[in-house]
Amino acid sequence: MSYVIAGPAAIAAATTELAGIGSTISQANVNAAAVTAGVPAAAADQVSAAVAAFFGAQAQGYQGISTQMAAFHDQLVQALSAGGAAYADAEAASAQNLLDLINAPALALFGRPWIGNGADGGTVGGIGQPGGPGGLLYGNGGRGGDSTLAGVAGGNGGAAGLIGNGGTGGTGGTGGSGGLGGNAFLIGGGGAGAPAARPSAPGSRAAAATAVWAACSTATVVRAEPAAPGWLRPPSAAWAGSAAMPGYSAAAGRGPGRRQHFQPQWPRRAGRRRRQWRSAFRQRRHRRWRRQRRRHRRSRRNGGSAGYAIGSGGAGGVGGDGGTVFGGQGGDGGRAATIFGFGGAGGNGGTGNYALFPSGGAGGTGGAAVLFGLGGVGGHGGSGGGYGGQGGAGAWLIGSAGDGGAGGAGNINSVAGGQGGNGGDAFFIGNGGNGGAGGHGFGAGTPGKGGGGGTAGVIGWAGNPGPDG
């Protein structure tokens, strides 16, 4: 018995082979039963009938024994499979105990094990937690937790160890961005960035503003102040407010039996004050527009970068839909590994519905290759005229660049089509990426132009420009 080795993999392979042998024998018995169970007599005499009956009885006896042997064979296969599972459990327990012993010093010093996958991030108080990092030597990063609170970003994916893949970013709450994909270190791919959550109608900022405006426009809104003979409000008069719009009231009038239309807080004769208010309103509106643009630019979540040796970059996350404003920009694809790998694809832009100019989110830029490999393709622009993302650059030595993403088509609000992304440029040996196609205009909207082709390397062909929408 000292020469017997009971490995879980060997037992599993033997179980599979034994089950296959049993299936073959059972099929052969079924085929033989049809020709042996009912042997016809050679002639009409008694001897021939006795011989036929003898062989028929033998065939029936064989079929009975075969049925018992098949049942015994199934029991043997089940016992062998259970034994293999027991061996596997015992080996896993022993390996885990040994792994805990090995990882204990690293956990005490660095807070990370030598070998093992990072824990997935949970959701605490509606906020997605980041995924745990993988082991220092080997292990994948944990997935980021999903956020449930509106406007909160998802948890970032955990970083991988020396060998392993980065974790995927978690999904953000309503209107929030997705988490960043985790990075790999030496050998492995970067994690993908999570898509941004689509804002629902009741929870979006645009819907809230619409609700406030509806509350102010459906009722007969009047100023709440004591009755006064003149138009100007007395200095001591108090201003009541409603829940929808502070400073105005639909319940009180300026005098008994009088109802007035919507009136601002300044008198009409104070023209200079009115002009100052208009100027300040325009400035606030412009600042609010700039904040929205910055928020949507930040909402993109890039894919994680690959390791330093071999691996591909993670794909960028998809930009969130902008409701009545701008769509979120797609995340950039992660960089490929230093020696060999492919750049991650850029994420697609989100849908925009701003009426004055194209508002679809731009596609993310494809990840670049480094020494050997291909650049990632650019993401497609979002509906509403979003620009296509640029293709990733080709490798420095051998590798072609990525193609540009297609421009987003126009929609009923943003009718113009988006411009296609430019193809990436190659360096030494490789072809330039093709330009992305321009987006189609909606109705009479202007179609987008195709993106330009990328430049060729020292050896290679330049990319073709993309067609217009």
Q: Any idea where the domains of the chain sit in the sequence?
A: 8-110, 200-226+240-263
- Mean pLDDT lowest for which of 157-171, 173-187, 372-386? 173-187
C-alpha 23/C-alpha 15 separation (Å) is: 12
Q: Which two tokens stand for residue 132?
A: 């745990």
**Amino acid residing at 206:** A
In terms of Cα–Cα distance, which of 119, 117, 109, 162 is closest to 139?
A: 117
Q: Is the pLDDT of residue 120 over 60?
A: yes
Lowest-confidence segment of 52-61, 186-195, 264-273, 440-449 by average pLDDT: 264-273
Token reading at 363: 């596609």
CA distance 426 to 432: 5
Residue 124: DSSP 8-state:
E
Backbone angles phi, psi at 398, to 5 degrees: -135, 120
Angstrom distance (rounded) from CA 371 to CA 369: 7
CA gap 291, 314 in Å, rounded: 28
pLDDT for residue 377: 92
Helices (H) and strands (E) in the chain, counts: 4, 2
Residue 387 confidence (pLDDT): 92
Query: Does 319 score more than 90 pLDDT?
Result: no
> Is pLDDT above 70 for 145?
yes
Pairwise CA distance, residues 291 & 288, whole Å = 5
Between 167 and 423, whose confidence is greater? 423
Q: Which 3 state secondary structure label does DSSP give 184?
A: coil
Phi, psi of 372 (to 5 degrees): -130, 130
Q: In terms of pLDDT, which residue wins out, 95 or 421?
A: 421
Residue with the larger pLDDT of the pair 42 and 402: 402
Q: Look up the CATH number of domain 8-110.
A: 1.10.287.850
CA angle 186, 187, 189 (to 5 degrees): 110
Q: Which two tokens stand for residue 412?
A: 């009923």
pLDDT for position 323: 60
Per-residue HEC secondary structure of 199-242 comes to: CCCCCCHHHHHHHHHHHHHHCCCECCCCCCCCCCCCCCCCCCCC
- Residue 450, pLDDT > 80, answer yes
Exposure class string for 44-53: b at 16+ Cβ within 10 A, else e: eeeeeeeebe
Question: How is residue 330 annotated by DSSP?
Answer: P
Helices (H), 111-150: none
